Amino acid sequence: MSRKLHARRIEGIDKNIWVEFSQLAADYKAVNLGQGFPDFSPPHFIQEAFCKALNGGFSKHQYTRAFGHPNLVKILAKFFSRIVGREIDPMEDILVSVGAYQALFCTFQALIDEGDEVIIVEPFFDCYQPMVMMAGGTTCLLDLRLKEGCGPVLSSADWVLSPEELASKFSPRTKAIVINTPNNPLGKVYQQEELHMIADLCIKHDVICISDEVYEWLTYDGTKHVKIASLPGMWERTVTIGSAGKTFSATGWKVGWAMGPGHILKHLKTVHQNSVYHCATAAQEAVAVGFQREYDVFGTEGSYFQQLPKHLHEKRLRLADCLKSVGLKPVLPQGGYFMIADISNLNVDLADPSTKDEPYDYRFVKWLIKEKGLATIPVSAFFSPEHKDEFQKYIRFCFVKEDSTLQAAEDILRQWSDSK
Ligand SMILES: Cc1ncc(COP(=O)(O)O)c(CNOCC(=O)O)c1O
């Protein structure tokens, strides 16, 4: 066929970090600290809820309400009304999606037009920029910067927004700003004053805030997660993105949601009903049961939302100690699943000719997979093409893994370090 096949909207966004590196990790049977998914099962109560749904009669095997299974949207509204301090309408203010990915896609497709600018804070979860481009928008990039006078052990809190630089990115063409807190890959948790700074500018310039909060329950050392939608004047202009996969360690179920005022959500629903239309009924029922349980035990030791961060806290410190012991410089995350580490101290002969034109961190990660059998993710993948070169000396480790997996990774790193 001689005619051009692909649509203009997908030009330049065909490469995907997850497709490339997950395949490489599988091909080399590497210990996988790469893609962000637990290598353990969801908690029993939600597995049992899924089994009960599957054996709960025909209706859980058939279509349910397009914008979200009634049991799920009702408990999501009830649960998060208590968090944001306002009444959330389950039928108007929530769209259940195929993971947070689809909630993000519906948001950009529904709200961004040709010529609209979207402010994205770097480093960012890689799909934001391609999704803005597919919607016809333009990205306006803003870097988190390492603040002056950081201590010897870096924390994600050391990366901050410049108030002046942030303000300078807002223009009459700015339609939205995307924030992700806790942040992937850095693990930064935006503090109240930073969120107020963003909120003030959104209100001043009449801009939508898209707040990706999929790691909302995973904060450490007493760090508090604040929902920007709960700040004065922000509910009306914020789309909050959530993920049952990250909330209940069930990434394969692909249940997520967008939450916000009905006058915005109605447009996301238009995209949803003209694309995916519907999410898995049984999985939604199981997530609804999970949230009802968590509603009943919220804030107590029995809550999974308390237990998981406690469980991951130890893993996070153990990984940081291991990385430091082999000459890497970890950045301790305030939240999330991931820890980045500076690899600039390591002199490795990256002789593989097949990767010579790739960024240094890509080449290093491929070498680590192929030669040492350990999978991680290059952090320049979380930067725009325009800024990739400035951030090629970090790699990302995922620590939401069984202790045996972390031990296997440590053994590889220590053997390598001893042999240098
Ligand atoms: C910030 C963020 N938003 C959204 C999502 C997607 O969430 P869901 O799985 O619910 O679609 C993810 C999942 N990331 O997983 C890939 C990785 O970083 O290793 C995410 O990190």
Which ligand 1 atom lies nearest to the CA of residue 183? 1
Neighbour tally for 114: CB within 10 Å: 8
Which pLDDT score is estimated for 1? 75
Atom of ligand 1 lying closest to residue 103 CA: 11
* pLDDT beyond 90 at 371: yes
What confidence tier does 149 reach under pLDDT thresholds 50, 70, 90?
confident
Does the beta carbon of 214 sit less than 6 angstroms from any atom of ligand 1? yes
Its pTM surpasses 0.95: yes
In which band, very low, low, confident or very high, does the pLDDT at 346 lie, cut at 50, 70 and 90?
confident
Residue 91 has pLDDT above 80, yes or no: yes
Confidence at residue 353, expressed as pLDDT on a 0 to 100 scale: 82
Indicate if the pLDDT at residue 152 is higher than 80. Answer: no
Percent of the chain with pLDDT over 90: 90
419 CA from centroid of ligand 1 (Å):
36
pLDDT computed for residue 192 by the predictor: 96
> Is 107 near ligand 1, meaning CB less than 6 Å away?
no
Residue 182 CB–ligand 1 contact under 6 Å = no
Instruction: Tell me whether residue 372 is exposed, middle or buried, using C-beta atoms within 10 angstroms of its C-beta: 0 to 12, 13 to 18, 19 or more.
Output: middle
**Binding site membership of 379 for ligand 1 (Cβ less than 6 Å):** no
pLDDT of residue 348: 84
The dihedral built from the CA positions of residue 148, 161, 319 and 396, taken in this order, carries a sign that is: negative
What is the per-residue pLDDT across 249-303, written as a single tens digit (0 to 9) for each? 999 999 999 999 999 999 999 999 999 999 999 999 999 999 999 999 999 999 9
Q: CA-CA distance, 344 to 360, in Å (whole number)?
A: 10
Q: How far apart are CA 18 and CA 282, in angstroms?
A: 27
| Closest by CA position to 342, among listed 318, 366, 358, 326 | 326
- Establish whether residue 243 lines the binding site of ligand 1, counting it when its CB lies within 6 angstroms of any ligand atom: yes
For 384, other C-beta atoms within 10 Å of its C-beta total: 17
Determine how β-strand 174-180 pairs with β-strand 208-212.
Answer: parallel
**Which residue type, as a one-letter code, is found at position 255?**
V
Rounded to an integer, the average pLDDT of 174-195 is 98
* pLDDT given at position 51: 98
The mean per-residue pLDDT over the stretch 29-55 comes to: 97
For 95-140, the pLDDT digits (tens) are: 999 999 999 999 999 999 999 999 999 999 999 999 999 999 999 9
Distance of CA 299 to the CA centre of its chain: 24
Could you tell me the two tokens for 196?
């107020």
Give the Å distances, CA to CA, from 104 to 169, 170, 305: 22, 21, 23
What is the value of ipTM here, to two decimals? Answer: 0.99
pLDDT for residue 389 is more than 90: no
Q: From ligand 1's centre to the CA of 182, what distance in Å?
A: 11
Residue 36 beta carbon below 6 angstroms from any ligand 1 atom: yes
Q: What pLDDT is attached to residue 420?
A: 77
For residue 322, what pLDDT is reported?
95
- Kindly report, residue by residue over 43-84, the tens digit of the pLDDT: 999 999 999 999 999 999 999 999 999 999 999 999 999 999
Q: Are 99 and 76 in contact (CB under 8 A)?
A: no
Preceding peptide of 123 cis, ω within 30°: yes
